[in-house]
Amino acid sequence: MRPIWSGALAFGLVTIPVKLYSAVESSSDVSFRLLDGKSLTPIKEIRVNPATKEEVPWERVVRGFEYSKGKYLAVSSEELKALPLPTAHTVELLGFVDAEEIDALYFDKAYYLGPGKGGEKAYELLRRTLADRGKVGIGKVAIRTREHLVAVRPIGGPLVMQTLYYADEVRPAEDIPDLPRNVRVLPAERKMAEQLVSSMVMEFDASEFKSEYKHALQKLIKAKLAGKPLAEPEAPRKVIDLQEALKQSLARLRPAAAKARRRATG
C-alpha cells in the first residue's frame, strides 16, 4: 500500500507527521473501453479547439476560470500549490464531536491515515484518546485542487479520515417532490411492519455482501466469448397491496425463524 499524500495532522500545538492511503480498491471492477462499433477498435479522445478545429496537446492545456461570459483567466498548477492555506500540507483538526452527531449523509470518501516517521507515539496517543472518549476529530485539508471538510476517527487499528460534504453541497430533503404528508397508516400495518423489521434484524458484516451486478457482468462476458446464449433478464418486481405484501413477507420468514430457533436450542 503506497501513500497518496504526505503531510501532518495538527490539533492545538500538537503536530503529527502522517501519510494518507486509499481505503477502498476500485480496480476489481469490470472496466470498459469505448470502441468504434463498426471495427471494435478502441477510440481516442481528442482535445480540440472549437475555434481553430486544431487538436490541443496536453502540454498546452491549462485550467481556466470564467470571470465573465466568454472571458477566462488561466490559473497554473504552481499558483494553486502556492495558495496560502494552512491546510495545504496539514490535516487541521478544529475540534472534536460525538460520532453520532455526524449525519451519514455528509460522508464521502474514506482514507487510512498512517503515522509518518517519528510520529508513531503521538499518533497512537490520539487514536487511543479518540477511541476511549468516543470522539471524532473535525477539520480541513487541502488535496489537489480542493479544500475538504474531514472527519478523523479510529476504526480498528488505524485512524481513518473521511471527507465530508459541506452543508451547502447537501441538497435539502424538502426539495424532493411528492414526499408523503398526512398519510394514514393503520395500526395493523404498523404492527406487521415492526414484526417484519424485527424478524430481519442482523449484524452487519461487509464480507457477507458481494456485487451481484459484477458477477452477472462477468457471466455475460464469458457467455459472449463462448458464443453461448445470454441469460434472460429478471422480471421487475411487481408492486402489490401493502398489507398483502407484509403478510406474504412474514409468512415467508416464519419457517426460517423457527428453524433458527430450533438450531439455537439444540
Q: Within a 10 A sphere around the Cβ of 108, how many other Cβ atoms?
A: 13
Distance of alpha carbon 89 from alpha carbon 20, whole angstroms: 11
pLDDT at 10: 94
Q: What is the pLDDT of residue 258?
A: 56
pLDDT for the residue numbered 265: 53
Mean of pLDDT over the chain: 86
Residue 263 has pLDDT above 80, yes or no: no
Report the percentage of the chain scoring pLDDT > 70: 91
Nearest 5°: the CA angle 26, 216, 225 is: 100
Cα separation of 57 and 155, whole Å? Answer: 45
Residue 16 has pLDDT above 90, yes or no: yes
Q: What is the mean pLDDT of residues 86-112?
A: 92
pLDDT score recorded for residue 115: 95
Give the Cα separation of 7 and 140 in Å (integer).
13
- What confidence tier does 110 reach under pLDDT thresholds 50, 70, 90? very high
Residues 6+ away with beta carbon under 8 Å from 150:
91, 138, 139, 140, 141, 161, 162, 163, 164
> What is the pLDDT, as a whole number, of residue 266?
54
Question: How high is the pLDDT of residue 240?
Answer: 65
Q: From CA 247, how far away is CA 52, in angstroms rounded?
A: 67
Q: In this model, does residue 28 exceed pLDDT 90?
A: no
pLDDT tens, residue by residue, 138-196: 999 988 778 999 999 999 889 999 999 999 999 998 888 888 888 888 898 889 889 88
What does the pLDDT look like over 29-43, one tens digit per residue? 778 888 989 999 999
pLDDT of 48 strictly over 60: yes
Helices 187-199, 242-265: axis angle to 10 degrees equals 40
Query: How does strand 63-68 pair with strand 71-75?
Result: antiparallel
**Can you tell me the distance from the alpha carbon of 98 to that of 200, in angstroms, rounded to the nearest whole number?**
29
257-260: list long-range contacts, CB under 8 Å, 24+ apart.
257/199
Residue 89 pLDDT: 85
Sorted by where each starts, the structural domains of the chain and their CATH numbers stand as 5-24+82-169 (2.40.290.10), 187-200+209-265 (no CATH)
Neighbours of 162 (CB within 10 A): 20
